[in-house]
Amino acid sequence: MSGVVIQLQGERPISWNTFYAGMHWSVRSHEAQRVHDLVATQCLVQHIDTDEPFSKPVIVHFYVGFNKRPIDPDNIAVKLYIDGLKGA
């Protein structure tokens, strides 16, 4: 699976501050599930097999572009997207 690119066109990642700042747990759960489903769907569309665990360490890079108001890179909730790969 080396060199695989999963592009989520139009996706604006949520910041950890927004995710935890007074957001009800059920809304957080819904947002996490939305992101997991988005990643899983892209894996299916691109025929990326995630059924078997990786046999070697994997490096994941995130490239995020913003049209307006960028988020501090340290504050992007990338774990939600990684968790989406696990459940794909």
**pLDDT average, residue stretch 31-51:** 87
Any bridge partners for residue 15, and if so which? 76
Burial 18-36 (b: 16+ CB within 10 A, else e): ebeeeeeeeeeeebbeebb
Task: Name the pLDDT band for 1 (thresholds 50, 70, 90).
Answer: very low
In terms of pLDDT, which residue wins out, 55 or 16?
16
CA distance 60 to 1: 12
- pTM (2 decimals)? 0.80
